[in-house]
Amino acid sequence: MTSADDLISLVRDYNPKTNEKRLRDAYAFGEAMHKGQFRHSGEPYFTHPVAVAAILTEQRLDDATIITALLHDTIEDTKANYEEVSTRFGEEVAMLVDGVTKLTNLQLSSRETKQAENFRKLFMAMSKDLRVILVKLADRLHNMRTIRAMRPEKQAQKARETMDIYAPLAGRMGMQWMREELEDLAFKVLNPEGRQSIIRRFVTLQRETGDVIHRITGDMRLELEKAGIEAEVFGRAKKPYSIWRKMQEKDQGFSRLSDIYGFRVITKSEEDCYRTLGTIHQRWRAVPGRFKDYISQPKSNGYRSIHTTVSGRDGKRVEVQIRTRQMHDVAESGVAAHWSYRDGVRTENPFAVDPAKWIASLTEQFDGEDDHDEFLEAVKLEMYSDQVFCFTPKGDVNKLPKGATPIDFAYAIHTRIGHACVGAKVDGIRVPLWTRLRNGQSVEIITAEGQTPQVSWLEIATTGKARTAIRRALREADRERFVKLGHELARSAFEHVNKKATDKALETAARALRVNGVSELLARLGAADITAHDVVQAVYPELTSKEGDEVSPRRAVIGLEPGQKFERASCCEPLPGERIIGITQRGQGVVVHTADCDRLGEFEDQMERWVDVHWHSGTHPAVYGTTLELTIGNDAGVLGRICTLIGEKKANISNLEFIDRKPDFYRLMINVELRDVEQLHSLILTLEAESDVAAVARYRERPGSQHRVV
């Protein structure tokens, strides 16, 4: 275990003005609090907080963060409390320790908790002080380094959580080295065979080709010396998980995979970065489409670098990153560079981003998302995304995730522009909205008054901001449409019993059905969450239950045994007046089919189950649901007129479902309650006569429906 003196020495190397007494006091306090506690490996527990603190010294972080690392488990796992930590080490440290404690208690991968809600809490913690996440990431890194002491099932859980959440979070914060190590440690747990296979192939490749890294770095240094450029050159093989992911994405074997080696050139000035790029491209052939200039277009987390891929020795592709020392510090530390110290003072790195602004830009688009699952989807989309940079016609730059479309670009400008988007021009050429944008393209959004978001846009958009805005607009549009439709359904249903759907009647129904107001009642009625029959019955129960001289539905079928019940087959929905056949169920009861129902063929070898039945000849109540399939014009007022026609034929609409929407027509299913087949024929004739009805037919079998005879 690293001693207090050794830890202080690590801090003093980059911060000679560190408060050694505070660090030593925190070390002693943490060691005392954790005394008698042990890790799964059998080591004293305090070895873990010390290791976390040592990891953070590599980022040259301030004293408060190092002290927080030493104490990050004291409030949760020892007798220490917030007040004691605050009194001894100050409010700043106490708040940071408390923040880490709350994050530790979020079981982000647990099936028993709401992962999306916990993600939201994680982002809230980040917004208060990003150093909480820095400590938590270092905590997770050390736990992954020592994960073999855990039970296998616990290892798998932590590894999946690391791969899904902490590794991409580290990458999004610009700490690429940590992301790569977390991914590789998780990969080692989740797929040890795959990782070993990659390592074995590396060993074989090195045996066959020799030390490629040493040769290429030597060649680069020589070329830079010739050009008079002073720079450091480093090379390395990419991590096993990075190679494995490339193999999966490109569906290629290891032998066909290129750019498995990466090289980094650290220059003294930005000008030297571009000189280095020219020197490398003169010496080696550049690979088309593999050049990115993050110096002129930096990432949102402050990352700046030039990326290029060239064909090196033996035609092997190698990736080269070119940056200055200050850019390199940000590339290694990411957002953490804001707190980095050098020679006792906080580093004035012009490329380090303000953490408050960074987290605000990352969380802004999630604030309005009410649905937790959609929030989680949006977070993951943003955390895993690479970025492309596109220009507006005026030259302004928009940063978008890789794979973004003009829809994403429109919403990145403004939600209003996104909603009104009808087309786009990329580099002056009209393109479909599903076109994937590339770096450096100029995008012009074409808008039209009256345009609204389409459902299909959800399949086109990739950014969380765009998808959130589209969903919200669709929900609002659906609600407005459902309210209008519900009003027509209610009016038709009340007219069916010779009543009017007045505001007072609807308010009474809303109270009776325990619905929050008339608007909500109509929206739920239009969305088929409740039926029109339920609404009318809530106000006039005596009218909806009155039978008079009508045949009781219980006595509607003749030919059943005493006490035997029947039900109408869902495949053909027989109506009084049609010839019917009964099929006994295994148990008690009979399912009634029309005589021409195709399903009867299934029972030809079970004639003992057939029952000779027929409808009662009396007048039947309008309670027999029948489904109609209609194709109607997409014009204002058409649906209302259809509902009115159905109501005028004394039929009650019990359900309505849109199954296809096109710019010029709708196709929908309407379930109507009828008396008999004559009323059905009369209704179909009436609807066919309506000019806005393109087609109407009785729908005899619902897709996927299953007969209930067993």
One-character DSSP codes across 293-351 = ETTTS--TT----EEEEEE-GGG-EEEEEEEEHHHHHHHHHGGGGGG-EETTEE---TT
Work out the pLDDT band at 312, boundaries 50, 70, 90: low
Proportion of the chain above pLDDT 90, given as a percent = 20
| Alpha carbons 73 and 78: distance in angstroms, whole number | 8
Is 206-346 CATH 3.40.50.720?
no
Topology adopted by domain 4-190: Hypothetical protein af1432 (1.10.3210)
Q: Which tokens is 71 given?
A: 């104490």
| Alpha carbons 210 and 525: distance in angstroms, whole number | 74
The residue-averaged pLDDT of 360-372 equals 53
Percent helix, strand and coil across the chain, each rounded to 5?
50, 15, 35
Domain chopping of the chain, boundaries = 4-190, 206-346, 358-456, 463-540, 553-615
The residue-averaged pLDDT of 591-600 equals 87
| Alpha carbons 157 and 110: distance in angstroms, whole number | 9
Q: Provide the 3-class DSSP secondary structure of residue 556.
A: coil
What's the gap between Cα 356 and its chain centre?
A: 24
If residue 698 lies in a helix (H) or strand (E), which one and from where to where? Answer: strand 693-698
Catalytic residues: 76-77
User: Spelled out in words, what is the top-level CATH class assigned to the domain 358-456?
Assistant: alpha beta
Instruction: Annotate 132-164 with b (16+ C-beta within 10 A) or e (fewer).
Output: bbbbbbbbbbbbbebbeebeeeebebbbebbbb
Res 706: pLDDT: 40
SS3 string, 86-145, reads HHHHCHHHHHHHHHHHHHHCCCCCCCCCCHHHHHHHHHHHHHHCCHHHHHHHHHHHHHHH
Q: Which tokens is 626 given?
A: 């029948």
397-401 and 652-661 beta bridge pairing: unpaired
315 Ramachandran zone, left/alpha/beta (phi>0; psi -120 to 50): left
Average predicted confidence (pLDDT) for the chain: 80
Neighbours of 418 (CB within 10 A): 25
Residue-wise pLDDT tens digits, 476-534: 777 777 888 888 888 888 887 788 888 888 888 888 888 888 888 888 887 776 778 78
Range in 50-64, 92-106, 354-368 with the lowest mean pLDDT: 354-368
Among candidate residues 476, 624, 616, the one with its CA nearest the CA of residue 559 = 616
Nearby residues of 96 by Cβ (< 8 Å), 6 or more positions away: 64, 65, 68, 129, 131, 132, 135
Residue-wise pLDDT tens digits, 294-310: 888 887 667 789 999 88
* 629 touches 696 (CB < 8 A): yes
Range in 165-169, 202-206, 384-388, 683-687 with the lowest mean pLDDT: 384-388
More confident residue, 213 or 624: 624
**Any idea of the CA torsion for 205, 207, 210, 213, to the nearest 10 degrees?**
50
Quick check: 244 pLDDT over 90? no
